[in-house]
Amino acid sequence: MIIGLLKEPAFETRSSLLPEHIAPLKKLNVDVIVESGAGEKAFATDDKFKEAGATVVSRQDVLQKADLLLAINPIADAEVAAIQSKVVIGFFQSLSNYNLIHVLSKNNNTVFSMDMLPRTTRAQSMDVLSSQANIAGYKAVLLAANLYPKYFPMFMTAAGSIAPAKVLILGAGVAGLQAIATAKRLGAVIEVFDTRPAVKEEVMSLGAKFVEVEGAADASKAGGYAVEQTEEFLQRQKAKIAESVAKADIVITTAQIPGRKAPILVTKEMIEQMKNGSVIIDLAASTGGNTDFTKNDETVVVNGVSIVGNSKLAGSMPSDASKLYGKNILNFLQLIVTKEGQLNLNFEDDLVLGTCVANKGEITNDRVKQLIG
């Protein structure tokens, strides 16, 4: 079997594999072909891939010769039609890019979208959402610290004392928890809001205060995502968040709902109450954002508050992001490729079944099927 690594679009800095992932794949008795330049933005040269045992070829050769294709982002429409009877693995966000899945399935391809992986204990080593969100949470705090016109930690000097920055983090999933840990290391005072009471202990263990709102819908089985809440709860939530936002110097928002627009958590009225020079980092920007003003991949300033919509923070650390993503992919490949280098798709395995969105011409994920209609 031949595994093909595609170069990502110009905006993407990450690669699905690095040279260090090639040797374990060779042990599975598969050949790996790499599109020239696939790893260059992650500081992995063609020569390094060759030294690791891969063959560097053109994009056309990868698309034609590979039995299994690896890509992070959706493949260009002009190329999708030519992909026939292959296995395609990527981070396709299938509930948003369902038309891509539809076209690939019509061409008899089997498609695995890693964002659909069940988020269970067994799946942790393959969980690309978590590995990339961890980086995003870390970088969100560093970005905020860079933009914030004051210190993060408390300072006591001969010229006077500086109070520590107050950070509010909305959402205590993987990104939120890393943001807490990073902000704490920088000396900030941190408050955290999440609709899941179960995360309170973990939040507090990291040194943050947990802001509680009673009556939340159960989100324990939502894989770290937000879930829809009752109107009564939303009003209580809004009031609590407004109190905390007014006190905060930095707000980091992370709430997303798969396949739907992100919930608005920080309203125009709340932003108007924030101090001049405050910063909001919105990690939900790609799905509409958690504020009334968020624009994806842009920074806007409203009443002196900088609102950063950045959905590509993981890509700002391309070497480690690719290292972790590649390890996730390698672990998944070891699940579906035998030691003899043969594909073995066991759909009785919940991880294989959950991640597969199309198989040999059939849409296998019910939510994707409903969206296609």
Task: Using alpha carbons, list the distances in angstroms from residue 48 to 9, 45, 322.
Answer: 21, 5, 15
> Which of 212, 178, 177 shows the shortest CA–CA distance to 195?
212
Q: Which residues contact 222 (CB under 8 A, 6 or more apart)?
A: none
Q: Residue 10 and residue 121: Cα distance in Å, rounded? A: 34
Per the annotation, the verdict on 260 as an active-site residue is no
Q: Which long-range contacts (CB under 8 A, 24 or more apart) does 342-347 make?
A: 342/1, 343/1, 343/67, 343/68, 343/87, 345/110
Per the annotation, the verdict on 127 as an active-site residue is yes
- Return the SS3 of 368: helix
Please tell me which residue in 115, 127, 194, 282 is annotated as part of the active site.
Answer: 127
Please tell me which residue in 15, 130, 132, 286 is annotated as part of the active site.
Answer: 130
> Which of 223, 230, 238, 250 shows the shortest CA–CA distance to 120?
223
Whether residue 250 contacts residue 144, with contact meaning beta carbons closer than 8 Å, is answered with yes
> Which of 68, 102, 72 shows the shortest CA–CA distance to 88?
68
Task: Using alpha carbons, list the distances in angstroms from residue 294 to 62, 183, 287.
Answer: 38, 22, 10
Residue with tokens 């280098």: 341
Please tell me which residue in 225, 260, 306, 367 is annotated as part of the active site.
Answer: 225
Please tell me which residue in 15, 119, 138, 178 is annotated as part of the active site.
Answer: 119
Query: Taking the CB of residue 306, how many other CB atoms lie within 10 A of it?
Result: 17
- Return the SS3 of 228: coil
Q: Residue 200 and residue 231: Cα distance in Å, rounded? A: 23
Per the annotation, the verdict on 61 as an active-site residue is no
Q: Residue 37 and residue 81: Cα distance in Å, rounded? A: 23
Per the annotation, the verdict on 124 as an active-site residue is yes
Please tell me which residue in 58, 64, 85, 124 is annotated as part of the active site.
Answer: 124
Q: Pairing between strand 155-157 and 31-35?
A: unpaired
Q: Pairing between strand 362-363 and 356-359?
A: antiparallel
- Return the SS3 of 246: helix
Per the annotation, the verdict on 47 as an active-site residue is no
Q: Residue 367 and residue 350: Cα distance in Å, rounded? A: 16
Residues with a catalytic annotation lie at: 119, 124, 127, 130, 225
